[in-house]
Amino acid sequence: MRLVRRSLLALVATAATALAMPPAMAQGTVLRVVPHSNLAVLDPIWTTAYMSRNHGYMIYDTLFGTDENGKVKPQMVESWVESPDKRLWTFKLRKGLEFHDGKPVTGEDVMASIQRWGKRDAMGSALMQFVNRMDSPTPDTFRIFLGEANGFMLEALGKPSSNVPFIMPKRIADTDAFKQIEEHIGSGPFTFKRDEFKPGDKAVYLKNTKYVPRSEPPSGTTGGKVVHVDRVEWNLALRDAQAQLNALQKGEVDIIEQLGFDHYETAKADQTLQIPVWANMGLQYMARFNHLHKPFDNPKVRQAAIAAFSQDAFLRAQVGVKELYRPCGSMFVCGTPYGSLAGSDLQMKSNMKKAQDLLKASGYDGTPIVVMKPTDLASIQKLPDVAAQLLRQAGFKVDLQAMDWQTLVGRRAKKDAPDKGGWHMFLTAWQAFDVWSPIANPTTDTRGEKSTWFGWATDDKLPEIRNQFMRATDDATKKKLADQMHARMFEIGTHAVLGEFDQPVAARKNISGFFVHNGNIYWNLKKQ
C-alpha cells in the first residue's frame, strides 16, 4: 500500500508540475526553421536585409498586401475612398485589430508608422514627396492629403518587401527613423519572445491567439494569416549547408529557407523531403558600387566593372543547376511590365577587352578595391570570388574581405572610406517584387548621400525621369519612362545586374500549407 500511495503522490506531483510549467515549456506544436541568415537587426525599416523583413512579417501587420500576381489588396484596411481629384484618400481600419500589448490599433498608430517608414524606404520616400499632411478624424480612420495626385498610392502602402510599411504602436513608431526601436510589439499573427532571443543562436515566435485573420485564402502577403502551430523556432546557429540538410533529413528541423544549390538534387531525390513552390518571380543578383569613394566615383570605372562581369560566370559558379538560373540584362526583371533591356548592351555583351580599355581610359590609379564577401550566406557567398577574379582580369587590384552576412549588412551602411572600415563593392540578391518597379527599386534613387540605399549614387537626370514616372497614370507613358530610366542607369553605372535565379526551399513531407508568396512567410503552415 505504501508503494501504491507513493506512486499516487508522485503522479499528483508530476501533474502539478506540468500545470505549473511556464508557456515556454508547454510548447505544443513547434515549427523548426533554419533561416537563410542570422537575425541581428530587429527594426524592420533599419535595413533592407530579408531577415529583418521576415522578422517583421512575423509580428507586424500591414495596411495592404500584394498577392502572387502583383495585385494590391487590403489587409488591415476594411475600405477606402479616393476623391475625384485623387488628392484625398480616406481609409477605414477593419475591426478586431489589436496590438500585442492589448491596445487597439488606431489611425494615430498608422500615421506615425507611415511617417517613419517614409524616411528610410525608397518608395516610402517617393510617396512622402506627395503627402501634404495626414490626420485621423476617428480612431478607426486615417486620411492622406496629397499636394499632387500620383499613380502609386496603394502600390506603396502594399509594398510586399524591403522595406515594408509595417504598422506599430505610435509610441514606438515615434522613434527617430535613424535610431533603432527598442520595443518589438505589433498586431500580427505571432508575438516575439524577446526573453528567448539569442543572436546567432535562436529566435522564437508564439501564436497570437487574439489575432483576427481575414477570410480570404492566402496569396502573396494578402489573405488570411491563419496560424496552425503554437510556436516557431528559428535556428540561427546552423549555418553549414551540409549540416542543415543532415538536420532536415533526420527530422531535427522542419524547413530550410535556402537549400544549398549543391544539395538540390539530393533533396529532390529524398522521399522524406519536398521542394515546395513558394515563388513565381524568382530573384536577381546584383553588384553594388560605392559611389562616394574613389575609384567608383568615376562612371568610367563603374562601366569597366560592368563590362567585365559576365552573367554566365556568376550564375554557373553560384547556382550551377541550369534549371534554376537564367541570364537577364534588365534591372527591372525580365518578364515584368517594365522588363526593359534599354541601354543594357554593356552588360549583356560584356567582354574583358572592353573592360580593360574603359579602365585604362578612366585613369584608374591602382587603388585596391574592397569587395565584401559573406561567409555564411550560401545563396551568394561564391559571387564575390567570381567578381574578384573578373575585376583582376580587367586590371583592378582587389582586396577581398570575408565576414559573416550580418557584419556585412552593418558595414555596408557605413559611409567611411574603404581603408577606414568602409567598402567599395558588395554583391547581393533581390526578390523580383523588390526591384521590378522603377519606384520601389532602390537603385533608382540617385540623390547621393540622401539616397535611401547603400551605394549613394548621384545623378540629376535620373530623378527627373523618375518624378515623371511617379506622376504618370497610363501604362504606355510609364513603360516609355521606365525605358528611359533603365538606359540612364546603365549610362551612369548605378550597379551591375548579374542574372536571375530561383532559390529552392526544402521541407519535411509532414509540413503542408505552402503558398506562393515570393518571400519567407510562416502562417498557413501545418505540421502533422
Instruction: Please identify which residue in the block is written with the cell numbers 518578364.
Output: 335
- Reported as half-sphere exposure (CB side, CA atoms, 13 A), residue 479 has a value of 8
Single-letter amino acid, residue 22? P
DSSP of 414-451: --S-GGGT--SEEEEEEEHHHHSSTTT-GGG--BGGG-
Q: Over the stretch 172-227, which tens digit does the pLDDT of each residue have?
A: 999 999 999 999 999 999 999 999 999 999 999 999 999 999 999 999 999 999 99
Half-sphere exposure of 25 (CA within 13 A, CB side): 6
Nearest to 441 by CA among 290, 223, 301, 288: 288
Q: For residues 57 and 232, what is the distance between their CA atoms, to the nearest angstrom?
A: 13
Residues across the chain: 528
220, 191 contact by CB (below 8 A): no
Q: What share of the chain is helix, strand, coil (3-state, %, to 5)?
A: 35, 20, 45
Mind listing the pLDDT tens digit for each residue in 239-279? 999 999 999 999 999 999 999 999 999 999 999 999 998 88
What phi-psi label fits residue 502: left (phi over 0), alpha (psi between -120 and 50 degrees) or beta? Answer: beta
From 32, 504, 10, 25, select the one nearest 265 (Cα to Cα): 504
Sign for the CA dihedral angle at 313, 319, 322, 328 comes to negative
Residues with Cβ within 8 Å of residue 112, at least 6 apart in sequence: 170, 173, 174
Phi, psi of 274 (to 5 degrees): -135, 155
Three cell numbers written together for 9? 503522490
Positive or negative: CA dihedral 139, 169, 222, 216: negative
Tens-digit pLDDT profile for the chain (528 aa)? 333 333 333 333 333 333 333 443 346 899 999 999 999 999 999 999 999 999 999 999 999 999 999 899 999 999 999 999 999 999 999 999 999 999 999 999 999 999 999 999 999 999 999 999 999 999 999 999 999 999 899 999 999 999 999 999 999 999 999 999 999 999 999 999 999 999 999 999 999 999 999 999 999 999 999 999 999 999 999 999 999 999 999 999 999 999 999 999 999 999 999 999 888 899 999 999 999 999 999 999 999 999 999 999 999 999 999 999 999 999 999 999 999 999 999 888 878 999 999 999 999 999 999 999 999 998 999 999 999 999 999 999 999 999 999 999 999 999 999 999 999 999 999 999 899 999 999 999 999 999 989 999 999 999 999 999 999 888 999 999 999 999 999 999 999 999 999 999 999 999 999 999 988 999 999 999
Rounded to whole angstroms, how far apart are CA atoms 166 and 187? Answer: 10
Q: Are 202 and 234 in contact (CB under 8 A)?
A: yes
pLDDT of residue 151: 86
Cell numbers at residue 58, please? 512575423
What is the pLDDT, as a whole number, of residue 27? 60
Starting at the edge strand found earlier in the chain, the sheet holding 30-34 runs: 190-192, 202-207, 231-235, 30-34, 255-256, 506-508, 273-274
282: left (phi over 0), alpha (psi -120 to 50) or beta: left
Q: What is the pTM of this model?
A: 0.87
List, in order of start, the domains of the chain with CATH numbers. 45-53+61-178 (3.90.76.10), 283-501 (3.10.105.10)
Distance CA 199, CA 410 (A): 14
Contact 458, 446 (CB under 8 A): yes
Rounded to 5 degrees, what are φ and ψ at 445?
Answer: -85, 105
Q: How far apart are the first and last CA of the chain?
A: 42
With the C-alpha atoms ordered 393, 395, 397, 402, is the resulting torsion angle positive or negative?
negative
CB 329 within 8 A of CB 341: yes
Radius of gyration of the chain (CA): 24
Which class for 188: exposed (0-12), middle (13-18), buried (19 or more C-beta within 10 A)? buried
Residue type present at position 490: F
- C-beta of residue 87 within 8 angstroms of C-beta of residue 418: no
**Residue 339 φ/ψ region, left for φ over 0, alpha for ψ in the -120 to 50 degree band, beta for the rest:** beta
**Residues 337 and 286: beta-carbon distance below 8 Å:** no
